[in-house]
């Protein structure tokens, strides 16, 4: 039997077996590799007697093409089988019931912060942020709060070091200082965020939320403050008119200072905001003290303005009918599910009530 016939027969026998891709590739290189069976036959051509050489070369070329085609076909076949097996194995059963997945809810405090930010942004306030860990200077000294002021007491403030230089900010007012130190007037900002005081009962939590407001420009007066708060509260509670009163108060960093109450009543067991004879305190405010402006190098003979600090949690409780402040921070999944907001059901405006 000629060498060529032998090569062909052996090859055909091997090809009949069940082969995988690495095996067929091995066969291919045994034949056509550098020292493969076919390649070596080509090397022999020169040594064949001239009379036979032409036929041998032609037979060899035919064999080479034939084997190469068969190998390509086999590879194709193996790949098809593998794909089909995979398809068969990984078939998706569309009739299976879907897996249960839980979509989170937006916490009422986050929702309320979003609403507050959009309401103020509509009248030109931008949003600033400050860190929860503050220094004593920004939280107290720069805000005209003297060393012996009761707010500095350990009963009120969480200090983070012996020297009482670092603390958890007791209000968002230090963001006033940070903002005015880093820019030039005018300023028109709000600063929502977490605040901390050593306090805990049904209406006080050691961590709570405030939103600071600051508007400094030439000729800003208390009328602007009143107009701004009136706009904010009516928008926030989605009412046409609101009963509001300014009660004289004291903050070291504002003069004059006031606390603002809104009117409410309980009608048929429902809380009605903005009417009635009862009063609820919701914020502190006033005209920024010249000492504060001087501390941040703002010329208090040219610039003046107002600031306010609103308790966010209190507002959220009123708007969404939540009666225990502590529930906000207990992370009870059932509570969140009930009071939280669907993240995909984004209200077209900030109006959370019309969801």
Write out the residues near ligand PHE by the rule CB under 6 A.
171, 173, 251, 254, 284-286, 307-309
Length, in residues, of the chain: 355
For the CA atoms of 159, 160, 164, 169, the dihedral, rounded to the nearest 10 degrees, stands at -50
Closer CB to ligand PHE, 250 or 302, in the complex: 250
Q: Are 27 and 57 in contact (CB under 8 A)?
A: no
Residue 12 is encoded by which pair of tokens?
Answer: 């055909």
Instruction: Name the burial class of residue 112, with classes exposed (0-12), middle (13-18) and buried (19+) by CB atoms within 10 angstroms of its CB.
Output: buried
Closer CB to ligand PHE, 130 or 284, in the complex: 284
Closer CB to ligand PHE, 71 or 288, in the complex: 288
- The interaxial angle of helices 37-44 and 50-89, nearest 10 deg, is 160
The secondary structure of 87-120 as a DSSP string is HHHT---TTSPPPP-----B-HHHHHHHHHHHHH
Closer CB to ligand PHE, 133 or 346, in the complex: 133
Other Cβ atoms less than 10 A from the Cβ of 327: the count is 17
**Minimum distance, C-beta of residue 189 to ligand PHE, in the bound complex (Å):** 12
**Minimum distance, C-beta of residue 254 to ligand PHE, in the bound complex (Å):** 5
Closer CB to ligand PHE, 60 or 285, in the complex: 285
**Minimum distance, C-beta of residue 249 to ligand PHE, in the bound complex (Å):** 8
Which residue's Cβ lies closest to ligand PHE?
A: 309
Closer CB to ligand PHE, 63 or 175, in the complex: 175
**Minimum distance, C-beta of residue 198 to ligand PHE, in the bound complex (Å):** 14
Report the distance separating Cα 288 and Cα 59, nearest Å: 103
Other Cβ atoms less than 10 A from the Cβ of 316: the count is 25
**Minimum distance, C-beta of residue 106 to ligand PHE, in the bound complex (Å):** 25
**Minimum distance, C-beta of residue 326 to ligand PHE, in the bound complex (Å):** 19
Query: What is the radius of gyration, based on Cα positions, of the chain?
Result: 40
Tally of helices (H runs) and strands (E runs) in the chain: 11, 10
Closer CB to ligand PHE, 33 or 227, in the complex: 227
**Minimum distance, C-beta of residue 229 to ligand PHE, in the bound complex (Å):** 12
């Amino acid at each position: 039997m000629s060498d060529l016939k032998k090569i062909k027969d052996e090859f055909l026998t091997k090809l009949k077996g069940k082969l995988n891709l690495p095996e067929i590739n091995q066969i291919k290189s045994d034949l056509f590799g550098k020292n493969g069976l076919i390649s070596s036959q080509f090397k022999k051509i020169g040594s064949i007697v001239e009379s036979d050489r032409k036929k041998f070369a032609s037979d060899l070329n035919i064999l080479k093409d034939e084997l190469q085609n068969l190998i390509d076909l086999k590879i194709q076949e193996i790949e098809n089988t593998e794909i089909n097996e995979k398809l068969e194995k990984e078939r998706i059963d569309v009739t299976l019931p879907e897996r249960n997945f839980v979509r989170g809810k937006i916490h009422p405090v986050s929702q309320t912060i979003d609403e507050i930010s959009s309401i103020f942004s509509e009248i030109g306030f931008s949003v600033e942020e400050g860190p929860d860990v503050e220094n004593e200077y920004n939280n107290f000294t720069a805000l005209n709060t003297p060393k012996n002021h009761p707010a500095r007491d350990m009963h009120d403030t969480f200090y983070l070091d012996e020297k009482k230089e670092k603390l958890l900010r007791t209000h968002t007012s230090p963001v006033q200082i940070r903002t005015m130190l880093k820019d030039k007037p005018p300023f028109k900002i709000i600063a929502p965020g977490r605040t901390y005081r050593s306090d805990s009962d049904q209406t006080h939590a050691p961590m709570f939320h405030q939103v600071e407001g600051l508007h400094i420009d030439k000729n800003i007066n208390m009328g602007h403050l009143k107009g701004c708060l009136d706009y904010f509260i009516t928008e926030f509670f989605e009412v046409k008119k609101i009963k509001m009163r300014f009660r004289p108060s004291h903050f070291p960093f504002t003069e004059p200072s006031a606390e603002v109450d809104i009117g409410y009543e309980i009608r048929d067991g429902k809380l009605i905001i903005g009417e009635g004879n009862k009063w609820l305190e919701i914020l502190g405010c006033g005209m920024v003290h010249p000492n504060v402006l001087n501390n941040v190098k703002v010329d208090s003979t040219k610039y003046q303005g107002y600031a306010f600090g609103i308790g966010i949690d209190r507002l959220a409780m009123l708007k969404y009918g939540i009666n225990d402040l502590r529930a906000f921070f207990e992370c009870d999944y059932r509570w969140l599910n009930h009071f939280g907001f669907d993240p995909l059901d984004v209200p077209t405006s900030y109006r959370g009530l019309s969801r």
